[in-house]
Structures are given as structure tokens and as C-alpha cells.
Amino acid sequence: MANTLVEIKHLAKSYTRGGQAVPVLYDITLDIARGDFISLMGPSGSGKSTLLNLIAGIDKPDSGILRIDGEDITKLSEGELADWRASNIGFIFQFYNLMPVLTAFENVELPLLLTNLSKSERRERVEMTLALVGLAERMEHYPNELSGGQQQRVAIARAIVTDPTILVCDEPTGDLDKQSAADVLAMLKQLNEEMGKTIIMVTHDAHAAEAARRLVHLEKGELIGDATSTAAH
């Protein structure tokens, strides 16, 4: 199906701890459509982050199929995977993960260093993107000079500046107050609706999950529920 962007079949993943294999994900099968906004929920330790990391190509499954845009990313070498991530994935983390020694501008410019863009093209892109997240006035600020909500907006700008296909967000509002969380969610929603970004978001917060079009529940490494959000539409 051409509209399926992420195709997951019988995906399994375990970690070894103390010499013993501890299964984290069992037999996950899930399709995510292009342009969807999906929210992954479930109790702590259920494997949400693990699944998200597999989709984002920063971890490798033990078995199963993981195709993104038709490409089986489990077959890519480490270097190929890095290049693939650079052009296809935008990351948004709970604790923003900005470089503290770089300004907002420089943080957003960082992923563009992996492209062929000239300095002036990069500047143009960065300025545009920071304006999009409402931080045009804060370009020269360092992360510690910004509020949590503002830092997360810088992180969103860094995630979208390369125009990736998928945004992966691991508890993007987990460290924010209510108002900032609402702002960030509204922004994600806008990116999904107006720019057609496919978004996969892990969250604990049922309220945050309502921003998504589709909810997926994980429990002890298995998918136990899948519903299309009614509140959002």
C-alpha cells in the first residue's frame, strides 16, 4: 500500500542484562500511514521508547521486518543508517538534548552541516525555521537562557530544519509545564496538518495523546489496543 510509510511485522527486541536476554518487545506488527500522527502509550517499561528507537534507526531489532518508505532499514550498515537518519528522521527528546555551548541558531544549524547547503542557504533555512517556532528573537540565546518550552521549540526547529519525513518524539512534553506543553503539542499538530509530517510520539500523558490522530497502546512489549482518536477530530 503506497500510503503506508512505516511497515512493521513481527518485530522483536531484547536486551541482555547480567548475561541474560530480557525480552522487551514481542512480535510487534504495526503499519503507520504517511501523514499520520500516532501516539504511543503504555506503562513505564512497556517498551515504548524501544519501539520508537527502532523506527528511528538508532537501535536494531533482533528479528522481524521494519520497512520505512519501502526501505528495509534493518539491512543498512551503521554508516548508511546514520546518513538515512540525517535525511529522514527528526528527533525530539524529553530533555531537548540541545548542545549547551551552541546558540539556538547554531543548534538548529547543526544537522544542516551534514547537507550540501552553503552557509547563506543554511542561514536562510535556520532563520525561517526558528521564525516558524516563534523564536526569531531568540536566535543568539544559549539554551540555559531559554525556558523549557522555548528550548523544546528550538529542538523542534532542529528536528524539522532538514525537512525529514518522520518526526519521532519521546515524551516531548514530559518536562514541561501545562502551558508550554500545550504550545508544543499545538506546534506538532500544526506540523502534521499543514506540512504533512508523519509524527510518532511516545507519551505518558493522556491529554497529550489527544493531539494525535491515532493511539496505540503497548503493554509489556505487546500492542494491546489501537484506536483512532476521537477527541482530535
Partner 1 sequence: MRPARQRIDVYFLKLIFKNVFRAKLRSSLTIIGLVIAIMAFGLLQTVVDAWFAGANASSAARMVTRNAISLVFPMPSYYRDRIKAVPGVKAVAHSQWFGGIYIEPKNFFPQFAVDHENFFEMYPEFLMTPEELLAFKRDRQGAVVGRKLADQFGWKVGDVVPIRGTIFPGEWRFTIRAIFDGKDETTITRQFYFQWEYINEYLKKRFPRRADQIGVFNIEVTDPGRIADIAKAVDAEFKNSLAETLTETEKAFQLGFVAQSEAIVVAIRVVSFVVVFIIMAVVANTMAMTARERLAEYATLKALGFSPKFVAALVYGEALMLSSIGAGIGILLTLPVASGFANSPAGAIFAAFKVSSDTVLMQMACALVVGLVAALVPGWRSARIRIVDGLRHVG
Ligand X SMILES: Nc1ncnc2c1ncn2[C@@H]1O[C@H](COP(=O)(O)OP(=O)(O)OP(=O)(O)O)[C@@H](O)[C@H]1O
Specify the residue, 5 or 40, whose C-beta has the smaller distance to ligand X. 40
Among partner 1, Mg ion, ligand X, none, residue 173 binds (CB under 5-8 Å by kind): none
Amino acid present at 181? A
- Please tell me what DSSP assigns to residue 176: S
Give residues in contact with partner 1 (CB under 8 A): 50, 53, 56, 58-59, 78-80, 82-83, 85-87, 91, 93-95, 97, 99-102, 106, 109-111, 113-116, 158
CB 8 within 8 Å of CB 31: yes
Q: Grid coordinates standing for 77?
A: 550498515
Question: Binding residues for ligand X, per CB under 6 A?
Answer: 15, 17, 24, 42, 44-50
Question: Which of ligand X, Mg ion, partner 1, none binds 76 (CB below 5-8 Å, type-dependent)?
Answer: none
CB atoms within 10 A of CB 56: 20
Answer whether 216's CB lies under 8 Å from 51's CB: no
User: 94 is in the binding site of which of ligand X, partner 1, Mg ion, none (Cβ under 5 to 8 A by kind)?
Assistant: partner 1
Binding site for Mg ion (CB under 5 A): 49
Select 31 or 205, whichever has its Cβ closest to partner 1: 205
CB 139, min distance to ligand X, A: 32
* CA dihedral for 4, 55, 143, 151, sign (positive or negative): positive
Contacts of 172 (CB under 8 A, 6+ apart): 92, 93, 94, 152, 156, 184, 185, 188, 201, 203
Cell 525556558 maps to which residue? Answer: 147
Q: Which residue number is nearest to ligand X in terms of Cβ?
A: 49
Q: Taking Cα atoms as reference points, which of 50, 56, 86, 74 lies closest to residue 163?
A: 86
153 contacts which partner out of Mg ion, partner 1, ligand X, none, CB within 5 to 8 A by kind? none
C-beta closer to partner 1: residue 158 or 197: 158
Minimal distance, residue 17 CB to ligand X, in Å: 5
Q: How far is the CB of 81 from ligand X (least distance, A)?
A: 17
Q: What is the CA radius of gyration of the chain?
A: 18
Alpha helices, H only, 57-147: 78-88, 104-109, 119-132
Complex with ligand X: residue 44 or 116, whichever CB lies closer = 44
The entry of ligand X, Mg ion, partner 1, none that residue 45 binds, CB within 5 to 8 Å by partner kind: ligand X
Residues whose CB is less than 8 angstroms from the CB of residue 101 and which lie 6 or more positions away in sequence, other chains included: 142
Least separation, in Å, of the C-beta of 186 and partner 1? 25
State the minimum distance, in angstroms, from the CB of residue 38 to partner 1.
20
Q: How far is the CB of 199 from ligand X (least distance, A)?
A: 17
